[in-house]
Structure 1
Amino acid sequence: MKVFIKINLLILILMSSSFSYAQRAKMNKAQKEYDRFAYIDAQKIYLQVVSEGYSSPELFEKLGNTYYFNGDYENAARWYEKLMKEYPDQTEPKYYFRAAQSLKSLGDYKASDTLMKVFTEIGSRELVIQNFKSNPDYLKKIKAKPKKWVLEPAEINSEYTDFGSAFYGNKLVYASAKPDSTARKVPIYEWNNQPFFDLFEAEMDENGKLSNPKRLPGEINSNLHESSAVFTKDGNTVYFTRNNYLNGRKGKDRDYNIRLKLYKATKKDGKWREIVELPFNDASYSTAHPALSPDETRLYFSSDRPGTFGESDLWYVDIRGENEYGAPVNLGKNINTEVRESFPFISKENVLYFSSNGRPGLGGLDIFYTPLDKNGMPTEIIIMAEPVNGKKDDFAFAVDLEKDIAFLSSNRNTSDANDNIYRATHACKVLLRGTVKDEITKQLLEEADLALFNEENEKIDSLKTDKNGGFNFNLDCGMQYSLRVTKDDYESVEKIVIAPDDAQEIELPIAMRKIGCPPNDLGCRLSLQPIYFDFNKANIRPDAEVELAKIWAALKEYPELEIKIESHTDSRGSKEYNMELSEARAQATLEWLVNRGINTDRLTAKGYGESRLINECSDGADCTEAEHQLNRRSVFLIKEEESIKK
């Protein structure tokens, strides 16, 4: 027995060792993918290891990071939470910070702030901690800011990642992972399993609408990444970001990673040529996202070079001549933190816009701005309000205030964490949305005509409803309008609309009433045939049941609808008898509906005998049977007009 026990113990030990070895082998494979930034491939291996019952702080850290660095904050939060819950003593401070950022991007500000308070006690990022402690009411302050911008997706967004915007005359230049349909083989970037970025240009009209996107011509695009460009005023020089790649040769750091560098290209014969690497690049760190000062004597950028406080800082160099530059200068702790500062842009007004996740914000990367002083250095740092900033990553803000147009990039409103480009108009606009329906049937009315008038009763816009009865107008904040709706066979509707003082969306449902129907005549408004009865009878005929079924359907669909049943006879017979007969018809009609589930509280029924003839067939008149038939009827009236919700 003891031998048997020993053998079984030995088997268990060997199985356990084999299991641990197998999981460690998978972890090592995943680590190799992770170290070369193949996060999607590494993620698949990590998830397989978890599914087989293995766990460790390293596993949860790396798995959370594969989501965090790809902007999938929901899954990042999930794995960081498991790390903190199962291995609290082995959780490094930075994961409390990343978990807090992830939760903020999900809109859970309370839980995020709780983790940030833990981070402030154990973390070492003093600039981040100082920013958090000095802004305890950051959320309230941000949300109290006036909403000066209205956002809408740019027309050139693809199913892939699109981001980064640069004004180039009457064009917008941006980066996109949209593959080249003419290429025989499309290289894939292992970080996110998408094609490498190229620089595109799109035509831009006076309202900022974009069209006809195509790759920049010439030698500027390569088999690796290009992104984040800035152009000189004469349009003949561009500074742009590219992987360390020039003249067909890749440059790598000591870990064999291809970093980012800044390059310059010159326009020759309509194409970008003469690609030159800027001399302050280095293979051992990244230099990216160029921005030019208004006088074009200084080039700002983002870098993790030595002297950086965090993951990336904002720097600048003075431009001294043709390919001559001063030494890189860090913009300092006033603007940079121990996390990420990136995507600088400088407006014509000498205001620096940038993105950071090291300052209190709404989630992920947020967009900030700071006026630059006479020395080109940042002054007060100000966060931009909603809707420019949201719960997810918001970055690469570029603005032309003279045209009241800006563009930014964000992974908001996407299920796959892809970035899209959004156009912002620098005006307070209210988006008026609504639908036009039939008042009773609730049928959506397509191609109803809508006209919008200003306070001076001048028509300023018009449109037709779409196939879903929908419409939308852009209104100026704080202004009063009148909206006129018309459609054949319907009474016209006019509504007064007062736009709020801040940018937002408002809903305005429109209910239209058919022409020619008394307000409370349900039969008319539902286009019903009359409910007729045979001579001297009160039973419900089969043809009447068809119309009653429509009444029943209306009562089921509109629970607040209450109706009155009025029944009548022809003139033949005594008035007393006809009164009793009409009452019987009214009750028979009511009972038909009650027997099919309609509450009696919603129905009333009354007979009127021969007192309400609809033709000349009174006592003694020479009328045909068909003419007498028209008087033997039940009609349906809406008891309270207000009972139908508009």
Structure 2
Amino acid sequence: MNLKKYFVNISLSIILCSTVNAQEKRLEKADENFNRYAFVDARKIYLDVARSGYASADLFKKLGDSYYFNAELEESVKWYEELVANYSDEIDPEYLFRYSQSLKSVKRYKEADQVMEKFNTVTGNDQRAEYFVSTRDYLRFIEMQSGRYTLRRLYINSKFSEYAPSFNNQGQMIFASSRGGGNSMVKTLHEWNEMPFLDLYTSDIIGKRNALTEPKKIKGDINTRFHESSSTFSKDGQTVYFTRNNYTKRKLGSDTNGTILLKLYRATLDGEKWINVEELPFNSEEYSVAHPALSADGTKLYFASDMPDSRGLSDLYVVDVNEDGSFGTPINLGDKINTEGRETFPYVSDSGRLYFASDGHVGLGGLDIFVAVPDVLGFSQPFNVGKPVNSSEDDFTFVLNEETKIGFFASNRSGGKGNDDIYSFKQTDDLITTCGQYVEGTITDAYTREILPGTEVLLLDSNNQELGRTTTNTKGKYKFPVSCETTYIVRGSKENYSPTEAPLETNTALEYTHQLPLQLGKGGLSGQEVKPGDDLAKVLNLQIIYFDLDKSFIRSDAEVELQKIIAVMKEYPQMKVDVRSHTDSRASDDYNMYLSERRAKSTIKYIVEKGGIDKSRLSGRGYGETSLINKCSNNVNCSESEHQQNRRSEFILLE
């Protein structure tokens, strides 16, 4: 599979004639071939030069690229390896990404991940790096997702390239193939990869297993002597949208650099023939528009393009299809779907799920197929569909009949007949398409570390509303399902212990389990005689709430203890508490009084904002250095630990 079909902004360069000066230097000739995307011709010279002992960053870049751009990623590893090992200071970070992708193609995932870590460091804000960082456990998720399809090889494949299957809603499968050769008026072999040009073919779908009849070229005006590929059909089968080189009304067009790009076309069915081929109005001479996919109701057309607002080599877009056949303005699907890499070959199922191929999202290597489900904001984050559909090679052009659970996709994996092959599949289980996370932990005695079975555990939202309740098992363990990117509070309580709460903020990782152990201290109010004036810190056996020198912010160790105060106040909703904050004797008396007031306010603010406790239930003030608990008054020589004992907050029960 070569990148022209995946869609990149350099797209296709079709050479109608070739006049090469035989006297040019070998590398100059190779560079000329490379720059017009004749990668196979360029590679032959580069290899000869490299074997002669010549080495340079540019040579290794182009050798690696000549394989990479033809999706021969296994062969690109050697040259990118030489490039990164010997010329790391001379390369664009993009070569780190290509090197990582190439390593995946030979299943060197640990090394690929190490290269991506470096890529993340040097790029800073690349979306592909961010996806990698947020899904470092991607191999574990892909294993969980895998095994939900059974595959079957198809005899329609040839020694050439077959890909881009689609349903024409007339009981047939349409696909692109280069089996037909070329027209004598043009060069038969495309110089990018020395393969014949593509046409669209049709096969009847027979029986429940999607057996296919002998392929035939579709009839009418669609196929030309240039490339035609990826198609999508209206529900009634009377309208087709398809990809073609920039060839309209028998006139071949190119951009300002002389490159022939890709465009979208529409045609209508007249009997068995396709007629009225027309170019879509949002095409351009200066960028490609390709690989269409209609929504089930025909009102939206999805496609790939490198138009000016695209983020990467190709992005996915959607445009409204109006009742009169006109179109709205194309809209980029945004950063949740698109990356700096290649997002291409969209397909929208009848239920509205978006399937597409990408190398920007984290996968097994090359292009992987992903699915995003519709939501109120458009689409969810994409989910890798797993093996065996995805592999370390390029996997793309996925289509699915959701009623029969049977579909097709293409891949250039080993074991096929040709450059790309189409595979049939049957989906046997639902995909994971939610960001499933869990929180679990063991609850123990804070002092003895003894496990505490039978402890009641509550899951609360950020507004302290109860979402779930459970009891720890015989091993002291609890578990709750949670959502991604959400704030929670987990509260544990047990008779004769002080209740404890801990905050939890979930992330974007797929199928992730947060470990949140809780420790309960002996005490609690149950069974104790408590009266106004008692210090809850002593009743609950809390650690003293300390502050750093000359500071009023809540320390992390203090947060643990304050969560226990919050838990008790929630358990006893009539309770009122007076917060009393103190300082040591250093600094002036006036300053210490001011500092302790700040500490009291900081403590009350934490309980109110983090714990959701009504402010009317709390009072407090600062006492400065007026209530020292040891000898460390003014001008007394004391250690830091002795001074710290005076920098504290107390919680006096009022009622």
Which TM-score applies when normalising by structure 2? 0.60
More RCO (CA 8 Å, sep 6+): 2
Question: Structure 2 vs 1, CA of residues 415 and 37 (structure 1 numbering), >3 Å: closer, same or farther?
Answer: farther
Residue 70 of structure 1 deviates from its aligned partner by 0.7
- Give me the whole-angstrom Cα distance separating, in 1, the residues matched to 2:63 and 2:417: 17
- Give me the whole-angstrom Cα distance separating, in 1, the residues matched to 2:23 and 2:339: 38
Q: Which residue of 2 aligns with 1:98?
A: 98
Q: Which residue of 2 aligns with 1:371?
A: 373
Q: Which residue of 2 aligns with 1:41?
A: 41
Q: Which residue of 2 aligns with 1:406?
A: 407
Q: Which residue of 1 aligns with 2:252?
A: 250
Deviations 1:59-88 (A, max 9, x none): 111111110011111111111011112212
Residue 327 of structure 1 deviates from its aligned partner by 1.0
Tell whether the 8 Å contact from 1:198 to 1:222 is kept in structure 2 after alignment. yes
223, 247, 265: which is aligned to 1:263? 265
SS at match of 1:361: coil
- Give me the whole-angstrom Cα distance separating, in 2, the residues matched to 1:152 and 1:33: 39
Deviations 1:303-336 (A, max 9, x none): 0110000100000111124441111100000110
Q: Figure out how many residues of one structure are paired with residues of the other and give that number.
A: 407
- Give me the whole-angstrom Cα distance separating, in 2, the residues matched to 1:80 and 1:38: 20
Q: Which residue of 2 aligns with 1:148?
A: 148
Task: Give the counterpart letter for 1:120 in structure 2.
Answer: N
Tell whether the 8 Å contact from 2:262 to 2:289 is kept in structure 1 after alignment. yes
Deviations 1:189-227 (A, max 9, x none): 111100001000011112111112011111100111100
214, 226, 235: which is aligned to 2:228? 226
Question: Structure 2 vs 1, CA of residues 419 and 254 (structure 1 numbering), >3 Å: closer, same or farther?
Answer: same
- Give me the whole-angstrom Cα distance separating, in 2, the residues matched to 1:374 and 1:124: 30
Tell whether the 8 Å contact from 1:125 to 1:338 is kept in structure 2 after alignment. no
- Give me the whole-angstrom Cα distance separating, in 2, the residues matched to 1:427 and 1:223: 41
Task: Give the counterpart letter for 1:176 in structure 2.
Answer: S
Q: Which residue of 2 aligns with 1:282?
A: 284
Tell whether the 8 Å contact from 1:298 to 1:318 is kept in structure 2 after alignment. yes
Question: Structure 2 vs 1, CA of residues 181 and 135 (structure 1 numbering), >3 Å: closer, same or farther?
Answer: closer
Residue 145 of structure 1 deviates from its aligned partner by 2.1
211, 221, 242: which is aligned to 2:213? 211
Q: Does 1:194 align with 2:158?
A: no
Q: Does 1:72 align with 2:72?
A: yes
SS at match of 2:379: coil
Q: How does 1:564-643 map to 2 (within 5 A)?
A: none
Q: Which residue of 2 aligns with 1:445?
A: none
Tell whether the 8 Å contact from 1:408 to 1:421 is kept in structure 2 after alignment. yes
Tell whether the 8 Å contact from 1:71 to 1:417 is kept in structure 2 after alignment. no
Q: Which residue of 2 aligns with 1:340?
A: 342
Q: How does 1:312-351 map to 2 (within 5 A)?
A: 312-351=314-353
Q: Which residue of 1 aligns with 2:423?
A: 422
Identical-residue share of aligned pairs (%): 42
Q: Which residue of 2 aligns with 1:112?
A: 112
Provide the alpha-carbon RMSD of the alignment. 2.1
Runs of 4+ in 1 over 3 A off after TM superposition: 180-186, 414-417
Q: Which residue of 2 aligns with 1:599?
A: none
Question: Structure 2 vs 1, CA of residues 190 and 213 (structure 1 numbering), >3 Å: closer, same or farther?
Answer: same
Question: Structure 2 vs 1, CA of residues 285 and 385 (structure 1 numbering), >3 Å: closer, same or farther?
Answer: same
Question: Structure 2 vs 1, CA of residues 416 and 85 (structure 1 numbering), >3 Å: closer, same or farther?
Answer: farther
Q: Does 1:389 align with 2:390?
A: yes
Deviations 1:126-151 (A, max 9, x none): 21111000011111111122511101
Question: Structure 2 vs 1, CA of residues 140 and 268 (structure 1 numbering), >3 Å: closer, same or farther?
Answer: same
Unaligned runs of at least 5 residues, structure 2: 1-21, 431-655
Residue 179 of structure 1 deviates from its aligned partner by 2.0
Tell whether the 8 Å contact from 1:155 to 1:209 is kept in structure 2 after alignment. no
Question: Structure 2 vs 1, CA of residues 415 and 26 (structure 1 numbering), >3 Å: closer, same or farther?
Answer: farther
Tell whether the 8 Å contact from 1:23 to 1:49 is kept in structure 2 after alignment. no
Deviations 1:601-631 (A, max 9, x none): xxxxxxxxxxxxxxxxxxxxxxxxxxxxxxx
Deviations 1:327-360 (A, max 9, x none): 1100000110000000000000110000110111
Which TM-score applies when normalising by structure 1? 0.61
Question: Structure 2 vs 1, CA of residues 46 and 320 (structure 1 numbering), >3 Å: closer, same or farther?
Answer: same
- Give me the whole-angstrom Cα distance separating, in 2, the residues matched to 1:363 and 1:316: 27
Q: Which residue of 2 aligns with 1:123?
A: 123
Question: Structure 2 vs 1, CA of residues 87 and 406 (structure 1 numbering), >3 Å: closer, same or farther?
Answer: same
SS at match of 1:320: coil
- Give me the whole-angstrom Cα distance separating, in 2, the residues matched to 1:60 and 1:118: 20
- Give me the whole-angstrom Cα distance separating, in 1, the residues matched to 2:394 and 2:115: 19
SS at match of 1:28: helix
Q: Which residue of 1 aligns with 2:56?
A: 56
Q: Which residue of 2 aligns with 1:472?
A: none
Q: Which residue of 2 aligns with 1:171?
A: 172
Question: Structure 2 vs 1, CA of residues 327 and 191 (structure 1 numbering), >3 Å: closer, same or farther?
Answer: same
Task: Give the counterpart letter for 2:147 in structure 1.
Answer: K
- Give me the whole-angstrom Cα distance separating, in 2, the residues matched to 1:370 and 1:210: 29
The structure with the largest alpha-carbon Rg is 1
Tell whether the 8 Å contact from 2:157 to 2:417 is kept in structure 1 after alignment. no
Residue 416 of structure 1 deviates from its aligned partner by 9.1
Q: How does 1:4-23 map to 2 (within 5 A)?
A: none
Residue 380 of structure 1 deviates from its aligned partner by 3.0
- Give me the whole-angstrom Cα distance separating, in 2, the residues matched to 1:247 and 1:266: 16
Q: Which residue of 2 aligns with 1:629?
A: none
SS at match of 2:403: coil
Deviations 1:564-615 (A, max 9, x none): xxxxxxxxxxxxxxxxxxxxxxxxxxxxxxxxxxxxxxxxxxxxxxxxxxxx
Tell whether the 8 Å contact from 2:159 to 2:417 is kept in structure 1 after alignment. no
SS at match of 1:212: coil
Tell whether the 8 Å contact from 2:182 to 2:197 is kept in structure 1 after alignment. no
Tell whether the 8 Å contact from 1:187 to 1:223 is kept in structure 2 after alignment. no
SS at match of 1:285: coil
Task: Give the counterpart letter for 2:87 in structure 1.
Answer: Y
SS at match of 1:235: coil
Residue 184 of structure 1 deviates from its aligned partner by 9.1
Question: Structure 2 vs 1, CA of residues 35 and 181 (structure 1 numbering), >3 Å: closer, same or farther?
Answer: closer
Unaligned runs of at least 5 residues, structure 1: 1-21, 430-646
Q: Does 1:88 align with 2:88?
A: yes
- Give me the whole-angstrom Cα distance separating, in 2, the residues matched to 1:277 and 1:374: 32
- Give me the whole-angstrom Cα distance separating, in 1, the residues matched to 2:46 and 2:416: 22
Q: Does 1:305 align with 2:307?
A: yes
- Give me the whole-angstrom Cα distance separating, in 2, the residues matched to 1:30 and 1:151: 41
Residue 116 of structure 1 deviates from its aligned partner by 0.9
SS at match of 1:324: coil
- Give me the whole-angstrom Cα distance separating, in 2, the residues matched to 1:184 and 1:209: 36
Question: Structure 2 vs 1, CA of residues 332 and 190 (structure 1 numbering), >3 Å: closer, same or farther?
Answer: same
Tell whether the 8 Å contact from 1:103 to 1:111 is kept in structure 2 after alignment. yes
Tell whether the 8 Å contact from 1:99 to 1:112 is kept in structure 2 after alignment. yes
- Give me the whole-angstrom Cα distance separating, in 2, the residues matched to 1:124 and 1:177: 41
- Give me the whole-angstrom Cα distance separating, in 2, the residues matched to 1:134 and 1:181: 47
Deviations 1:443-501 (A, max 9, x none): xxxxxxxxxxxxxxxxxxxxxxxxxxxxxxxxxxxxxxxxxxxxxxxxxxxxxxxxxxx
Worse-matched range after superposition: 26-35 or 310-319: 26-35
Q: Which residue of 2 aligns with 1:237?
A: 239
- Give me the whole-angstrom Cα distance separating, in 2, the residues matched to 1:185 and 1:282: 24
Question: Structure 2 vs 1, CA of residues 370 and 250 (structure 1 numbering), >3 Å: closer, same or farther?
Answer: same
Question: Structure 2 vs 1, CA of residues 182 and 27 (structure 1 numbering), >3 Å: closer, same or farther?
Answer: closer
- Give me the whole-angstrom Cα distance separating, in 2, the residues matched to 1:80 and 1:415: 26
Tell whether the 8 Å contact from 1:94 to 1:123 is kept in structure 2 after alignment. no
